[in-house]
Structure 1
Amino acid sequence: MKKTIAMAMTGLSIVLGSCGGNNPQNTTSQDDDFKYEVDAFADLQILRYKVPEFESLTLEQKELVYYLAQAAAEGRDILFDQNGKYNLAIRRTLEAIYANYSGDKTDKNYQEFETYLKRVWFSNGIHHHYGEEKFLPGFSKEFFEAEVKKLPADKVPVMENQSIDDFFAMIEPVMFDPNVMAKKVNQADGVDLIKTSANNYYGEGVTQDEVEAFYAKMKNPNDSTPIMYGMNSRLVKENGKLVEKVWKVGGLYSPAIERIVGWLEKAKGVAENDAQKTVIEKLISFYTTGDLRTFDKYAIAWVQDSLSRVDFVNGFTESYGDPLGMKASWESTVNFKNTEATKRTEIISTNAQWFEDHSPVDPRFRKEEVKGVTAKVITVAQLGGDCYPSTPIGINLPNSNWIRKDYGSKSVTIENIMEAYDKAAEHSGFSDEFVWSPVELDLLHKYGFITDVLHTDLHEILGHGSGQLMPGVDPDALKAYGSTIEEARADLFGLYYIADPKLVELGIIPSADAFKAEYYRFMMNGLMTQLTRIEPGKTIEEAHMRNRQLIARWVYEKGKSDNVVEFKERDGKTFVVVNDYAKLRNLFGQLLAEIQRVKSEGDFNGAKSLVENYAVQVDQKLLTEVLARYKALNLKPYKGFVNPVFEAVTDKDGKIIDVKISYKEGYVEQMLRYSKDFSSLRTYN
């Protein structure tokens, strides 16, 4: 999925949308008694989101949302297993301890245990959901062993013919040793990215060279409609030979996929129209066969369904979890169109050809004809898999380049999630701490939210949908750098055009100066404040963070001679200052042209140079300062959500007569319920 990550992309700008002195950990934002904040622990804050206008849906639409929401929950175990082969064993052991614990709950070991369990739930495994590094328990091995030994024998997920001591020998290094399975996704240059990544997309002993050679043999450079090779399988060695274990009914992950299909069958029965019914049928067919040509047919049908109000994503979509960008994590969203707000995105998509034609990139790399670009603002109703609890605030699909070129793409901005971030960030004190002057504060107060939303719109609708590959270029040519380059490309497209007079002419931005709010936010974030997510001594690993620093550092360095952007100090603190917004826009355009060239030509060395020189390394002195200032605010740098609960109301014959929505379920309560009701996979797959 080409997606805009919440908080990764825009969360800091939403914090900047308001200023004040109160700490959000001490003051819960409310709106008509709706409590946005649910829980806070480690570096995480758990929020709720509203689903406005759900009651305006028809009964059939509500029923459709209900079935799709159930399907969205059924894939949770798949993601846990994809993220690491021992994740289900660890989660189920921790949950058993939690359910059976009878000791002192004020004990430090137990309190650290609770925090660790909450983090495992949030990250869908033992590696940080964003930083990719393994987080370690704060409780002792002795506490862990003692509590496991107290459990009923059937609650300890040992392997077949495995003793409890063997279980400890297997699981404890994975949990406690910082050098074992240290990173879920390793992007470091010069090492075997497969052997040094802890994800479960590849079997024991499989190397990066073997993976690249295996899939290179499958690809035909003259194929104008290539499938996304390897997207829905684990690549393993059997008797020394590489074999794909396909995720499908009857294959790997079959128990969970069968249940997903069961809910999709029910959803098909209440589809809004024939086009939506066809989408669901093709998705079921893909899940049943595992055939990637069938997946492409599903993706085309999904793009072409523009009339249904209720929509969804369900399946193997996101490739950020694979260091080579091939294997796709399981995820889901269920949503419906925000009709009023969609008027804005429809204006943008209607004018897509104008934006493409006036792009500052080489005309060879532009699309001569932009096809099928549809865009809407949605209200998300349910999150699942790799979109839960941490979720994007913008999505653009499908990922296949040829489908995007020949059939178009579908872009969404998730405005109710953005609103939840905005509400939860009120009175944080962040702006007072990091914004240079009242001039920038005034810009952010006036235009911060609308330009934040518009940048997301432009990123998803136009950015990801723009440009084209040159004939014969492998879509995977940029390898480990592909995700960073693609996100930078989309971001730059949005940054370049948010300052264009065309947006004022179209009536979708309130002032010719409004863009300055987004420019300032982006540069401050990319150069400095996103460092709140980096540990001392570490480099930047995550693709979206690399993208932002790449852009900000490149334009900062290239604009030095004209002092376009600078660092200033006041009272011993560092601030980012933009001195020339017009020249900054010109620099964004120059970098967009180069990034598009790299993408279009499949220039691996060009991508490597940009990423390694601008996106990875961190100014450790600045990092130390930023972390200290942020810590004083007592904020959480990462946020995620609990889902609302949908309840089907039936008559005496079992027919659904209504679907009710509730926002009362807590974080721990929801996670335990999901583990009880939506956990169909074996512990070891």
Structure 2
Amino acid sequence: MASASSSAKSPIIESLNARRIFETLSKTEKLYAHHLSRAAWNGARIIMDQVSAESTSIFDLIMELHNVSEGDWTEYGEDQGVEEVHVVKFLEYAAIFLHNIGNYFGQGDQKFIPQLPEPEFRKLASGSAIAKKIYERISDAMYSTMPLCLGYPSETGQAQSRYYISSGDAEPFTKDEISSISQILQDRGIHQENTEFVKKLSRADNGYSFTVFQASIDLPEAPILLSSTMREGKEFTVVLLKANHRKQLEKINDELTAALAYCANDRQKLVLQKLIESFKTGDMEAYKESQRHWVKDIQPAVENIFGFVEPYRDPAGVRAEFEGLVGLVDKDETRTLTALAENSARFIRLLPWTKGFTDNDGKGPFEKELFEAPDFTSLHTLAYCSSIIFPGINLPNFNDIRQETGFKNVMIANSMNPPGRDSGADHSLPQEAIRVDPSLESEYIKHYQATFYLWVVFHELLGHGTGKLLTENSDGSFNFDKENPPINPVDGKPVSSWYKPGETWTGLFGDIATSVDECRCEVVGALLVRFPGVVGFFGYTDETHTTPKDMELNIYLQLGCAGLRALNNYIVEDKKWGQAHSRAHFAIMRILLQAGDDFLVIKENAQEQTLTVYVDQTKTKTHGIPALSDFLLKLHMFRSTANVKECREYYEELTEPSEQFLRWRHIIIANAAPPKLFVQDNTIINSDGEVVLLGYSPTLEDLVDSWVDRNI
């Protein structure tokens, strides 16, 4: 692939296999899982449409070429006069596209283009009238390096966003326009996760009309006028129009309706019924109600996540990409996670914002009064339809539900190696340009997987699961003592800011919200990995193969490598970060470099084009822990007290790469590791009414075949 963050190396493909758990399900559970999986995959076209204007057509082109070739790519290439090397490059492009569900990387939001020469792709497309027609329409967009990334639309064309589309001669959206429309929606009580904005030029007076498209099946007779104002003698109107993504939502609802017959309990039925209602009407309140029921459906055999969930790809941090996930609970692995969750309240007292406080059972005023152990399960995903396959998930994202009802944590076990289970895959070595000091490399590899797994576990449970937002309610009451406000442990002064009625974390902090929170959670996980009493839940002691001391060193090495790898996803031309987690990892690395006394050192070898990470393991307690603890406390207090001004100033300065970091970025990109892709299973119902699992080999051809078999 050619892009700011990719390389010409062939991708590595792994199987996201769920067969072991699938075979333990009952017939009813298999039917439930089948229909949910079909619903999940039918959301793929929604994701593609949210990524770029050409993505759905690229998908159709790949499917048509498979159809005309009947999957025999070698023979088809010969028939079209295309050498095998170019056929392979086409398959690599197709596989990377399908894995990312669009032509922008899920990790990094940077565009990738085919590696085979354009005339060779044209030859492949010429074997079918349908493929040829599609190719002629999208080839320019597919091969153009511009826009090179997702982000706020820019006049230079370097960034684009399908959440903010300018139609015809209209200029690109401005941040002020996006903010103004968002405020109008907030004032009208309209949730924005399932919306997209379109801007048109009004021919009458050169004013602008803005349409807010809301995802739904229902199509009202006419758009709903939300606002009409005059600005400098020009009319600016905002209307709401439903039925966005209508066709795909109908297919999703058909499968969710079929799944209703196989629910294990009434709670699951309520979840699906409210999801169906939400997708039909576009009402996010119905969706939130589904999430309240979902949180209370404890350890189902078949888990699901649906909806417009994560706002990572909206540059404003509000509108969310669609996601569909169906997972099968691994009961053995879940037992340990459940035990950890049930004891999580006492682990909260290890976190820095609780220090020095005796109230709230020793957790202090910046932590929730009641921490009910959430459902924490280990899943083997049967269908994970998303632009990013995360190793762990904490949902829902609605803070009112999290504080009043609760939340769930899940680990995606078949995408990684939980302790005690080895898939044979090597997840440990960083990419070619990034090395670990030779004196530490063998230990790094030996203890990497155990440390990484627990880092993710603590990130989800005690990162996303902790924290209290100081809030003023709509009735004028407060969830803290307004007359005697708590003392901010950062500056020793009473807090002077909080969330006003209607304000939310993502809405107030905007584009930095998700990255700051992911950063906070990553540091929580990194700090907790060192505690023997915490990692002991997973059997790690001073006598085991991996000890708590081994993990304490390993996590700092991982943080150093992750911070360097993050530079892949910094887009120089647009001066923005393409992924929230990457920005967070870079910030943590900066903090550790600033700890001083050569605690964390990055050694650059210009001749070999390598960057080597070294950690002085004698200084983890004197330098590493204090640096991370102070950093975590700042982030937590910014978030808890709605201190967006100081947070933005601090975080933006911290995450602005210097010339040295940009030089390192060049080394990393020039020696990038091959992309890692997952091939996933499918299910079908055979002639006997039994659900059968279709597995696939980790090859380019089978990855494409798996998507053909989904028939979406």
- For the aligned pair, the TM-score class normalised by the smaller chain equals 0.7 to 0.9
1:567 corresponds to which of 577, 602, 614? 602
CA contact (8 A) 1:231 1:326 kept: yes
The alignment status of 1:85 with 2:53, answered yes or no, reads: yes
Partner of 1:124: 101
Deviations 1:82-133 (CA, angstroms, capped at 9, x unpaired): 1012222233235445636631231766554444333332332222332222
Give matches, 1:194-343, under 5 Å.
197-204=159-166, 205=170, 206-219=173-186, 229-237=191-199, 240-250=208-218, 251-343=243-335
User: Does structure 2 retain, via aligned residues, the 8 Å contact 1:73–1:385?
Assistant: no
Conserved 8 A contact 2:383-2:680: yes
In structure 1, runs of 5+ residues without a counterpart are: 1-39, 159-166, 680-685
Residues 174-227 of structure 1 show CA distances to partners (whole Å, capped at 9, x for unaligned) of: 233333x221235xxxx869986423222214432112111223336xx9xx87
Cα distance change, pair 217–130 in 1 and its aligned pair in 2 (3 A): same
Distance 1:567 1:385, change over 3 A: closer
2:695 aligned with 1:662: yes
Partner of 1:45: 12
Structure 1 window deviating more from structure 2 (589-598 vs 505-514): it is: 505-514
TM-score, with length taken from structure 2: 0.77
Do 1:523 and 1:576's aligned partners in 2 also have CA atoms closer than 8 Å? no
2:676 aligned residue (635, 639, 642): 639
Q: Take 2:286 and 2:548, find their aligned partners in 1: how far apart are those partners?
A: 46
Letter of the 1:425 partner, please give it.
D
Q: Which moved more, 1:125-134 or 1:274-283?
A: 125-134
CA drift at 1:489: 0.9
TM-superposed CA distance for 1:647, in Å, is 3.0
CA contact (8 A) 2:451 2:555 kept: no
Aligned to 2:372: 371
Distance 1:336 1:624, change over 3 A: same
For 2:549, the equivalent position in structure 1 comes to: 513
Out of 105, 114, 119, the residue aligned to residue 137 of structure 1 is 114
Structure 1 partner of 2:504: 474
What is aligned with 1:614? 654
Taking the aligned partners of 1:194 and 1:211, their CA distance within structure 2 comes to: 19
Quick one: which amino acid aligns to residue 142 of structure 2? M
What is the match of residue 8 of structure 1?
none
| Structure 2 unaligned blocks of 5 or more | 1-6, 70-75, 203-207, 219-242, 355-363, 472-499, 542-546
Which amino acid is 2:520 matched to? R
- Of residues 76-85 and 606-615 in structure 1, the stretch that sits farther from structure 2 once superposed is 606-615
Q: 2:386 aligns to what?
A: 385
Assess, with a 3 A threshold, how the Cα gap between structure 1 residues 59 and 254 changes in structure 2: closer, same or farther: same
- Partner Cα distance (2:98, 2:21) in 1: 30
Q: Secondary structure at the match of 1:125?
A: coil
Residue in structure 1 matched with residue 497 of structure 2 by the alignment: none
| SS of equivalent residue, structure 2 residue 244 | coil
CA contact (8 A) 1:477 1:603 kept: no
Residue 598 of structure 1 and its aligned partner are, at CA, apart by 1.8
Deviations 1:566-625 (A, max 9, x none): 335799764322221113122111111111122223333333334333334162443455
Give the whole-Å Cα distance in 1 for the aligned partners of 2:155 and 2:527.
34
- CA shift for structure 1 position 450: 2.0
Deviation string, structure 1 residues 371-405 (Cα, Å, up to 9, x no partner) = 3522121222222133xxx5111011000111111
State the AA in 2 paired with 1:92: D
Task: Please say which of residues 514-523 and 275-284 is displaced more in the overlay.
Answer: 514-523
Give deviations 1:207-252, integer Å, cap 9, x for gaps. Answer: 32112111223336xx9xx87x211122224653323222122312
Counterpart-to-counterpart distance in 2, 1:313 and 1:248: 18
In 2, Cα distance between equivalents of 1:585 and 1:450: 20
Q: 1:86 to 1:427 in 2, by over 3 A?
A: closer
Deviates more, 1:259-268 or 1:414-423: 414-423
Pairs within 5 Å for 1:104-119: 104-106=81-83, 112-119=89-96
Are the aligned partners of 1:249 and 1:257 in contact in 2 as well (CA < 8 Å)?
yes
Provide the TM-score with structure 1 as the length reference. 0.80
Q: CA deviation at 1:459?
A: 0.5
TM-aligned CA deviation for residue 347 of structure 1: 2.2
Aligned partner of 2:392 in structure 1 is: 394
Residue 343 of structure 1 deviates from its aligned partner by 2.0
- Secondary structure of the residue aligned to 1:551 is helix
Write the mapping of 1:88-107 to structure 2, written as runs, cut at 5 A.
Answer: 88-97=56-65, 99=68, 102-106=79-83
Distance 1:185 1:77, change over 3 A: same
Q: Distance in 1 between matches of 2:653 and 2:592?
A: 13
CA RMSD of aligned residues (A): 3.4
CA separation in 2, counterparts of 1:110 and 1:63?
A: 38
Deviation string for 1:140-164 (max 9, x for gaps)? 5555556656642x55567xxxxxx
Question: What secondary structure is seen at the aligned counterpart in 1 of 2:466?
Answer: coil
What's the counterpart of residue 477 of structure 2? Answer: none
Q: Tell me which residue corresponds to 2:150.
A: 184
